[in-house]
Chains A and B, each alone.
Chain A
Amino acid sequence: MNSAAWGVMLHADLTTGTFQDVVLPDWLQEGYLGGKGYAAKLLLDLIPERADPLGPDNMLLFLPGPLTGTPAPAMRACVATKSPQTNLFLDSYFGGMFGPEIKYAGYDGLMISGCATEPVVLVVDRDGPRLQPAEALWGLDTLETTRRVKEVLGDEEFKIATIGPAGERQVRYSLICCEFNRQAGRGGAGAVMGSKNLKAVALKGERLVRVHDQSAFDRALDRANKEIRDSAECRSLMASGTAGSVEFANEAGLIPANNFSDGTSSLAKKLGDAGQSRALWLSRAACFGCPIACTQMGAVRTGTYAQMVTDIVEYESAAMLGTNLGIGDARAVAHLTKLCDLLGLDSISTGACVGFAMEAASKGLLAGWAPAEEIADLEFGNIPAAEEVIRMIAAQQGELGRLLSQGVKAAAKTLGPEAERLAQHVKGLEMPAWGPRGAPGMGLAYMTADRGACHQRGFPVGYEATGMEWRGKPVQALSLEGKAELVATLQDYLAGTDCLVKCDFGAMGVAPETYAELLNAATGRNVEASFFDELGRRIWNTTRLFNLREGLDISHEHLPRRFVEEPLPSGPHKGHRITDEDMRTLLADYYQVRDWDAQGRPLKESLIHSGVETDRRVVLTAPMAQNETREA
């Protein structure tokens, strides 16, 4: 029977340099499907309790899903590991061409453990897996590494995932750059890769991904593609990607300005789709198999950054490295974003760290701590100063670079209580660019997201800022009632479909029934649309078990003090904040909706009810010697 899933992963132990094909047990495939589902169960089973995220015991997983590599629109893959920023579960998603290549290489995932003694590249092609020395690549930026790995292997067709200099130095919020320039950005997966001395992974797969029932799959594809064409949200992404969100978020009072001190910015207009289109864009680009093509590629044609090729400055980067730093020049923000990409830094966390430093400097909190020349020009709106700080972070250079490379939570702790009030993070992960003061449901989503402050585990802003209907009633932005149920429901569905692995933008068009139809036709399963909600609930309970085991408790589930104490200075929800009482109400509701106790711990019955697998676990046996791993 054909299936678009292989049921096999590759385990590479970098300490011993050995490889092993791991056959996935049926119960794992049935109960956890792929992508995020596998991430949840495998990290729980395979990482020893309280393991050092930057030590050899941590696992680094690259996980596509059953539909990745097929033309089902639009599929991605994820990186999963224990985060060095939060010490908790981390999944970070990426598009491009690397995810499908894992499938073409014949695998449902790559599991990487151990630590190489010297820098290496993991190569997988027709000849099987092997490690190659990478000393010559150490220190190179992400795009140069991608180019050089292909050159060394003598084949342009390899698809590459790589870290930049920041990942090599284990800067806590380093990313993994997946061909082509698609980032597994959040949570520091690049630091984990760097800690393993793994500079890059190069794949060239020759296998065909075959679906179970081609004619049923073709029908489901037609339906999915029609749903995307008919979706106003998808059409908007085709026209201007997420740059269109810049002005929307500004009008809704949700955009971060000057380290989240405000929710509107006069600079937004220049950084949105109109501004970018004029200054930068030349051509559209898509990830593999995607009809949406949300990327607008462009170039800076004149001025200081002339001749630089740039991706669309997507919303998060435009806000975090733009309005959040008081910078309103689209070309400069494109330059700073590209710099983060090349050095291998998450642009969201970097923007949060630089914004933190700018505000700390303005309040005199860095004086006497960092040398005067390091902080002389560190003020909102200063583009060269922002650039310099980013370079210092990646190189862990100077007092300031070393301090900020640990993330805002650790940096604030070093600087003292006054600085802690300027540190915008939840559980150690810096805030993305949607200030929650006018959207308490979003605040709850941040507090409860499994990987820390994240806008992609549930995005109630879509309802709160638009008044869109939920269960037959328009959602009131500032109301607390019903928000816990809204957040948990969104979280479940997104987690369930993150097993496919769907892209959030495709999901704006494709209906749950259609995802079920695609999955059934591709794999021979027989699930209904509600399957994804049930699967998601199982996953949220599984990642919760992992996080509790690793030291999470509910005292960590709160918003940064700024959103609690300082009323929003402008915008439609001017004067609003999320009080301690609000947070308690939201969280109590949420734990109840989730069937967790008052301490946020899943009840035994809720684990059984959601089908969390606690008895059976995945175990890796000792790999064979390298030359015995595969038949020719």
Chain B
Amino acid sequence: MQQSRPSVFIRTHFDACTGCQLCQAACSLHMFGGYNPRKSMLTIRRKWENMAHIPVVCEQCASPMCLRACPVQAISRDEKTKVVGIDREKCISCGLCDRYCPLGMIHLDAESGKAFKCDLCDGSPSCVKACPTGALDLITSPIRPGDAAEGQS
């Protein structure tokens, strides 16, 4: 079974993250055309009051639980980019993808009820560009897409 991840991925560095949420503002702008960090595809977990900030991004998993949980096959991996995407026409707003993503990376839009997730911004993620501290890094995998076996990318 061909199941590889995209050739680029976002690496997070919690030690550089200040919790400023500029990544989330950039993401909501990309996805919805306006600013509201609540409407972004990545999250920042906070620990010890406001001391540690741990950015969490979609890993475009090799074996995505959201994809498996979707009852109507609205979630699929793009053959070319390997990004795990959601077809909103097919999405029936059941929320099962959200329930079974252990990282909480599915965003259920309060207005439409539809599911959204990180699309890696066509390989040039807005969140990475917006980060002022280098807490989000764009890494290009040395392994060409399609070469890697499951779980090795």
B116 to chain A, nearest CB (A): 13
A132 is an interface residue with CB less than 8 A from chain B: no
Q: Check B19 against A285 for contact (C-beta < 8 Å).
A: yes
Q: Check A143 against B36 for contact (C-beta < 8 Å).
A: no
Closest to B26 in A: A71
Question: Which residues from chain B contact A214 at a C-beta distance below 8 Å?
Answer: 29
On chain B, which size bracket covers the interface? 20 to 34
Give complex CA distance A181, B50 in Å: 8
Q: Check A289 against B25 for contact (C-beta < 8 Å).
A: yes
B151 to chain A, nearest CB (A): 32
B71 to chain A, nearest CB (A): 26
Q: Check A291 against B132 for contact (C-beta < 8 Å).
A: yes
B35 is an interface residue with CB less than 8 A from chain A: yes
A164 is an interface residue with CB less than 8 A from chain B: no
Give complex CA distance A290, B18 in Å: 9
Give complex CA distance A311, B32 in Å: 34
Q: Check A210 against B33 for contact (C-beta < 8 Å).
A: yes
Question: Which residues from chain A contact B28 at a C-beta distance below 8 Å?
Answer: 208
Question: Which residues from chain A contact B52 at a C-beta distance below 8 Å?
Answer: 283, 297
A6 is an interface residue with CB less than 8 A from chain B: no
Closest to A225 in B: B132
Interface residues of B in 47-93 (CB under 8 A from A): 48-53
Give complex CA distance A284, B135 in Å: 12
Q: Check B39 against A309 for contact (C-beta < 8 Å).
A: no
Q: Check A289 against B34 for contact (C-beta < 8 Å).
A: no
Give complex CA distance A299, B51 in Å: 9
Give complex CA distance A286, B132 in Å: 11
Q: Which of B19, B26, B38 contacts A286 (CB 8 A)?
A: B19
Q: Which of A71, A286, A298, A299 contacts B25 (CB 8 A)?
A: A71
Q: How many residues in A have their beta carbons less than 8 Å from beta carbons of B?
A: 38
Query: What are the interface flags for B9-37 relative to A under an 8 Å C-beta threshold, 1 for contact and 0 otherwise?
Result: 00000010011111001101100111111
Q: Check B35 against A69 for contact (C-beta < 8 Å).
A: yes
B140 is an interface residue with CB less than 8 A from chain A: no
Beyond A285-B53, A290-B20, whether A205 also contacts B36 by CB under 8 A is: yes
B107 to chain A, nearest CB (A): 12
B133 is an interface residue with CB less than 8 A from chain A: yes
Give complex CA distance A311, B18 in Å: 13
Q: Which of B15, B51, B111 contacts A298 (CB 8 A)?
A: B51
B26 to chain A, nearest CB (A): 7
Q: Check A297 against B37 for contact (C-beta < 8 Å).
A: no
Question: Which residues from chain A contact B39 at a C-beta distance below 8 Å?
Answer: 206, 208
A301 is an interface residue with CB less than 8 A from chain B: no
A288 is an interface residue with CB less than 8 A from chain B: yes
Question: Which residues from chain A contact B29 at a C-beta distance below 8 Å?
Answer: 214
Q: Check B130 against A206 for contact (C-beta < 8 Å).
A: no
Q: Check B36 against A297 for contact (C-beta < 8 Å).
A: no
Question: Which residues from chain A contact B38 at a C-beta distance below 8 Å?
Answer: 104, 157, 204-206
Interface residues of A in 259-311 (CB under 8 A from B): 282-291, 293, 295, 297-299, 309, 311
Q: Check A209 against B34 for contact (C-beta < 8 Å).
A: yes
Q: Which of B34, B110, B130 contacts A210 (CB 8 A)?
A: B34
Question: Which residues from chain B contact A205 at a C-beta distance below 8 Å?
Answer: 36, 38
A75 to chain B, nearest CB (A): 11
A70 is an interface residue with CB less than 8 A from chain B: yes
Q: Pick the most buried of B25, B38, B49, B50: most chain A CB atoms within 10 A of its CB.
A: B50
Question: Which residues from chain B contact A207 at a C-beta distance below 8 Å?
Answer: 34, 36
Query: What are the interface flags for A154-191 relative to B under an 8 Å C-beta threshold, 1 for contact and 0 otherwise?
Result: 00010000000000000000000000110000000000
Query: What are the interface flags for A453-494 relative to B under an 8 Å C-beta threshold, 1 for contact and 0 otherwise?
Result: 000000000000000000000000000000000000000000
A309 to chain B, nearest CB (A): 5
A413 is an interface residue with CB less than 8 A from chain B: no
B12 to chain A, nearest CB (A): 15
**13 residue pairs from A and B, CB less than 8 Å apart:** A180-B46, A206-B38, A206-B110, A208-B34, A210-B33, A214-B29, A282-B51, A283-B15, A285-B53, A286-B18, A289-B20, A297-B51, A309-B48
Q: Residues of A with Cβ closer than 8 Å to B?
A: 69-71, 97, 100, 104, 126, 143, 157, 180-181, 204-211, 214, 225, 282-291, 293, 295, 297-299, 309, 311
Which 3 residue pairs are nearest across A and B when measured between Cβ atoms? A208-B34, A286-B20, A291-B132
